[in-house]
Amino acid sequence: MASRLHAYTIKRAAKIAARVMVLFLCTVGLSLLVVRVFTIKDVVVDAPLMAIELDKSRFGKNLLFLPTEKLRADLLNNYSLLSEVRFEKQYPGTLVVHLIRRNTFAVLRSQGIVYALDERGLVLGGVGDEAGYPVLEFRAGILAIGSEVTHPGVISGLAFLKRLGGSIPISRIFERDSLSIQAVSGHTNIFLPQIGDISGKADTLQTIVEGFRIKGALPTVIDLRHEKPIITN
């Protein structure tokens, strides 16, 4: 009886070991198949209007295990001109990297050079055609692509434009003196402090302009440098 039990136990153990071995070999085989089939063979960089070359080895070897969030964060951190990065997996072995450039929000004239800026003041490059963009005119120095403008007048001008959101068309913003800036909207000149609550000033301007639009005529001067606006018709 004992010998039969012992033989049964050995036989059962052998079957279990065989099943484990088969499972192990299947797993290893499947893993090797996945690694081979989904190996990244080609990386295509889609970067319109940008001369960006990427080290393709940074994307790893397998399309299924691509660390997209880490790669996206690294690219955005290393290339300041990018606003977004998207990865497109074309199975079995092609990766397309879409690089989206920041949009021009305004242009800056500084020391005879015209620069394209995004809404936070990042220099995107030179500009050949200013049409369609608000023009900021300040002595902000010679600027490098990818740098951020630090001139307080430019920063306030961009914040002013962003707060207005296009509700009031602004063609120019320039430095009036060391403490104030001037914005131009049609025949209306708007005076603003260079430093201060620019968002609040933009809100006040919108309220004033809405009231005058109802009357059918806009004032020639709106001075927002003081606690109470000064309006000249």
- Same-domain check for residues 93 and 113: no
Beta strand ranges found along 27-144 (DSSP E): 42-46, 82-90, 94-101, 106-110, 113-117, 123-126, 135-137
Cα–Cα distance measured from residue 43 to residue 95, given in angstroms and rounded to the nearest whole number: 5
- Same-domain check for residues 207 and 121: yes
> Does 214 fall in a domain?
yes
Structural domain boundaries, residue 88? 42-101
| Predicted TM-score of the model (pTM) | 0.74
> Does 14 fall in a domain?
no
- Same-domain check for residues 178 and 215: yes
What does the DSSP 8-state code read for residue 7? H
Per-residue pLDDT of the chain in tens (233 residues, 90 and over written 9): 555 555 546 556 555 554 555 454 445 444 444 455 578 888 888 988 777 888 877 777 888 888 889 989 999 888 888 999 999 988 888 999 999 989 999 999 999 899 999 999 999 988 876 768 999 999 999 999 889 999 999 999 999 999 999 999 999 999 999 899 999 999 999 999 999 899 999 999 999 999 888 887 889 999 999 989 999 98
Phi, psi of 151 (to 5 degrees): -60, 125
> Does 3 fall in a domain?
no
> Does 33 fall in a domain?
no
- Domain end marker among 57, 79, 101: 101
Total domains in the chain come to 2
CATH code (residue 183): 3.40.50
Cα–Cα distance measured from residue 171 to residue 132, given in angstroms and rounded to the nearest whole number: 9
